[in-house]
Amino acid sequence: MISPMMLRGLWAYRGFVLGSVKREFQSKYVNAMLGAVWSVLSPLAMILVYTVIFSEIMRAKLPGNDSGVAYSIYLCAGILTWGLFAEIVARGQNMFLEQANLIKKISFPRICLPIIVVCNALVNFGIIFGLFVVFLVVSGNFPGAVFFAILPVLLLQVLLAIGLGMVTGILNVFFRDVGQFVTIAMQFWFWLTPIVYPASILPEAARPILVYNPMAPVVQAHQAILVEGRLPDWPSLIPAALIALLLCILGMRLFRKRAGEMVDEL
C-alpha cells in the first residue's frame, strides 16, 4: 500500500510529523490556566460520571454479570473505542481541507497528513485510556495478561478508521457533501453498534445485521478483553480486517491518482 519511496519521505519528514502533533496538542491548552492538566481532568470526570451514575444511581447490570461496575467498564470500553475510531474518521475526512494553505505553500509528502491525524488521535486516546486502565487496576478489574490482546484489535481499528478517513477525505475535496453525509452516518453507526447495550438484548431478527457492521466485532473484542477478561473471537474480526485492508488500498490509490487534482481543487 505504501511504497518504499513514501516510507523514505515519511522518515525524512518525521520531524515535521512530530512537530505537527506537538503543536496541535499544545494549541488546545495554551491559553488555559491549568494547561495540559485538562487533558487528564476531562476524561477522568467522564469515567467517574459513568461509574457513579450507572453503578451507584441506576444500578445498571450486564446480563450474566453481577459485578457492580461491570456495566460502567462495558460502557467505557465501547465509548473509548468508538471515540478513537470516530476522531480519526472525522479528522481524516477534513484533513486536506483543513491543511489547504499548507498543501499549496509547502512541498512535503502529503501522506504525512494521515499519519499526523492518527498520531494526534492516539495521543488523545492514550491519555484517557491510560486513566481507564488505572481505574481498572484500582477497582480490581484489570484483566491481567489477556489485556495485551487489545493491541492487534487497536491496530485493526486504526487501519479501518484511517482507510475510511482517507477515502472520504479525498472525496470531500471534490464533493463537499461527503463530509456532511459521513457526519450524519456516524451518528447512526454509533447506535447500530453494541456500545451502550449488549448485543444479547437485541431481537433475534436484528442480530444478523451486526454482521454487516465492521465496528461491531471490534467493539465487542475490546469489551471481551476489558469486561470479561478473555481473548476476543478472532475469526469474527476477519471481515473487519478485510474491509480495513480494502479501504486502505482504495485510499492510497485515490491519493496517488488525485493528489495533483486536489491541489488545484483546494
230: left (phi over 0), alpha (psi -120 to 50) or beta: beta
- Range with the poorest average pLDDT among 14-18, 72-76, 89-93, 188-192: 14-18
Report yes or no: 72 and 55 within 8 Å, Cβ to Cβ: yes
pLDDT tens per residue, range 56-108 = 555 556 666 666 678 888 888 888 899 899 999 999 998 888 887 777 777 77
* Cα-based distances in Å from 104 to 98, 121, 122, 265: 12, 25, 27, 10
Q: Please give the residue that has the higher pLDDT: either 23 or 54.
A: 23
Q: Please give the residue that has the higher pLDDT: either 8 or 255.
A: 255
Is the pLDDT at 8 greater than 60? The verdict is yes
Can you read off the three cell numbers belonging to residue 69? 461496575
Is the pLDDT at 203 greater than 90? The verdict is no
> CA 195, 199, 205 angle in degrees (round to 5)?
135
Q: Which domain holds residue 258?
A: 4-265
Q: Tell me how many domains the chain contains.
A: 1
Please give the pLDDT value at position 226: 93
CB atoms within 10 A of CB 59: 9
Rounded average pLDDT over 221-226: 94
Report yes or no: 221 and 233 within 8 Å, Cβ to Cβ: yes
Map 109-126 to HEC letters: CCCHHHHHHHHHHHHHHH
